[in-house]
Amino acid sequence: MTVQTQFFTSDEAEPVVVENPLAKGRVLLVCEHASHTLPARFGTLGLSEEVRKSHIAWDPGALAVTRLLSEALDATIIYQNYSRLIYDCNRPPESPSAMPVTSEIYDIPGNADLSEAERFARTSALYIPFHDRISELVAIRDDVVLVTMHSFTPVYYGKYRDVEIGLLHDTDARLVDAMLDDIAGTDFRVGRNEPYGPEDGVTHTLRLHALPNGLLNVMIEVRNDLIRNEEGQRAAADFLSGLLTKAIAAHSP
Ligand SMILES: [Zn+2]
């Protein structure tokens, strides 16, 4: 007899969520770090509730801004429903940060000494279906613009970050170049490949889906203290939807 351990209990939510699937806009919004939820089988991972709900577990405010962008741009959203502490869907399975043993200043006891079987189970349950679904959504039309949405902590390893919005790219900077052409006089401090960039391994989703398909793309990072409430979320979404609309138009025939 084999005993198969279920990854999710029968009443747990699906890991991959697609919203506004019939949207008519070109933009596909991806939010890998939308949720701090841990599947029940993982308990607390040995972390306090405060840490389990902190920026190491998810990108606070990112999904809220993504939903406002979806309305403004008539864009489909795909997001991951479980915490990046179990599997970080913006990292390939071989990356140490895919199932991190430490994150910033925190040890994650539940991720110490993972077996190959456990790593495979997490990859199969969370990473593969997420990226398979993105591949399907990208294949629906030939002019998809891939926009991944994130938030970052204002204080990292005790150091304050001045930048408010980061526009990140890998080897294809077309969309970011056009967005940065248009930011003079705006209210936000915007940086290219800040507060980190492709050298930190953060452009995995862009590398998987945008670069091989020649899609216009950007990874957007918003400092999370600016999007703690609806007013801030709306201000960020208004700014970004305007920026994206003009930059995409600049690249359209
Ligand atoms: Zn993120």
3-state helix, strand, coil in the chain (%, to 5): 35, 15, 45
Helix (H) or strand (E) holding 198: none
Query: What angle separates helix 62-73 from helix 230-250, to the nearest 10 degrees?
Result: 50
**pLDDT tens digits, 177-192:** 999 998 888 889 999 9
Residue pLDDT, tens place only, 32-77: 999 999 999 999 999 999 999 999 999 999 999 999 999 999 999 9
Q: How far apart are CA 68 and CA 57, in angstroms?
A: 22
By CB neighbour count within 10 A (0-12 exposed, 13-18 middle, 19+ buried), where does 190 fall?
Answer: buried
Q: State the pTM of this model.
A: 0.96
Q: How far, in Å, from the CA of 3 to the mean position of ligand 1?
A: 35
- What separation in Å is there between the alpha carbon of 55 and the centre of ligand 1? 9
Q: What's the average model confidence in pLDDT over 213-242?
A: 98
Q: Quick one: which of 35, 36, 158, 162 has its CA closest to 105? A: 158
How far does the centroid of ligand 1 lie from the alpha carbon of residue 56, in Å?
A: 9
Which of 118, 79, 81 lies closest to 98 in space, CA to CA? 118
- Let me know if 23 is exposed, middle or buried by CB neighbors in 10 A (0-12, 13-18, 19+): middle
Rounded Cα distance, 96 and 102, in Å: 9
Half-sphere exposure of 5 (CA within 13 A, CB side): 10
Ligand 1 midpoint to CA 140 (Å): 25
